[in-house]
Structure 1
Amino acid sequence: MRAATEHAASVCPVEVTVSIVGGSWKLTIVQKLLAGTRRFGELRRDVGGVTDRVLTRQLRELESDGLVHREVFAQVPPRVEYSLTAEGESLRPLVEMMDEWGRQWTSEHVGGVPA
């Protein structure tokens, strides 16, 4: 567990949730991994707009908090795959509800629903 998450646990459960999934691109990463295992390059393309450095940092934090599993295959060139753990998968209802809320808000306020 990261120190930030441990500190959040002393505040309240909402802060724990924000500490774990409230970072640049974290919920988008989780959403993409809900569809299945992805390699780094696939995630970078799927997430869009994220730099390699930020994506790496966010994946490491998600891994440290037990939501993402990183598997390295011993081959040349090296292959790394990311997937959700059972804990990460438990975020599915939250992510789906947030996705639906965002679509509805966008439809009402912006006039279109993103894909």
Structure 2
Amino acid sequence: MEKVQSNANSKKEGTKKEGRKVQTDADVKKKAVKLVISHLKKKIAKEFSGSELVRQWVEEMEKLLEKEEFELAEYMRMRRELNDIIERIMDEEMRFKLRDSWYSFGRALDKKVKKY
């Protein structure tokens, strides 16, 4: 009787999998970048010298994330811009925090779909 129940459960699981969208590398990268940006926004909550530059960059990045297509070149350009902004920040502690986010941004762009 347990075998029948497990078969019924496997049929239900199969229908769930059929309805799921297949994730691409671009989807995974975009999701990871969104997470990095949300963490970055928490870091820049307090005022510091250059915070306006970072906030403007975040706004531009959010506009890019809203787009349906994923162009890696655009995200790489934005990462270079973030690096330029970080270099202009005078607050050493904040610069280190932003540098960590910059590094995480690069790792997010390297993400790929997990193979099963």
TM range (shorter): under 0.3
Q: Provide TM-score, normalisation by structure 2.
A: 0.25
Which is richer in strand?
Answer: 1
Which is richer in helix?
Answer: 2
- Which is bigger in relative contact order (C-alpha 8 A, separation at least 6)? 2
Q: Provide TM-score, normalisation by structure 1.
A: 0.25
